[in-house]
Amino acid sequence: MNSHISIVDLEVFYCVGVPEAERAKPQRLLLTVEMEHDFSKATKSDGIADTIDYFAVSRRLLKFGEGRSWKLIEKLAADLASLILAEFKPQSVMVEVKKFPIPEARQVAVAFTKKR
């Protein structure tokens, strides 16, 4: 039995953008992460050790951009998915990165899914 744990629109500040000037300082992004994980043991034990600690995931994502930069949000989404798979061990993860570079658009977004 697999279920999903979601973190929706986590506000982070990372250096990302094709022009060097855009990467010069962190900008606001919203991350949505959906992790597929069998948490049937957690439904019986009621213990955090039997599931994915979404608070720990959020803290890790908030710090992930420190001292790093990306040109493309596609690469950023792939890097985030790899990190989550390696450290938190879901069956699969979908990472959506929302950016706000176009004044006439609400947002630009990419989504990347990776499985173990």
Write out the two tokens for 30.
């919203």
Look at residue 2 in the predicted model and tell me its pLDDT.
73
Average pLDDT, the chain: 96
19 CB-near residues (< 8 Å, 6+ apart): none
Tell me the DSSP string of 61-87.
Answer: HHHHTTT-EES-HHHHHHHHHHHHHHH
Task: Report, as an integer, the average pLDDT of 93-97.
Answer: 98
Dist CA 113 CA 23 (whole Å):
25
pLDDT at residue 105, rounded to an integer: 96
Question: Residue 68 pairs with which residues in a beta bridge?
Answer: none
When pLDDT is averaged across residues 3-16 and rounded to a whole number, the result is 97
List of domains in the chain: 3-115 (3.30.1130.10)
pLDDT digits (tens, 9 = 90+) for 19-66: 999 999 999 999 999 999 998 999 999 999 999 999 999 999 999 999
The span from the CA of 29 to the CA of 10, in Å, is 8
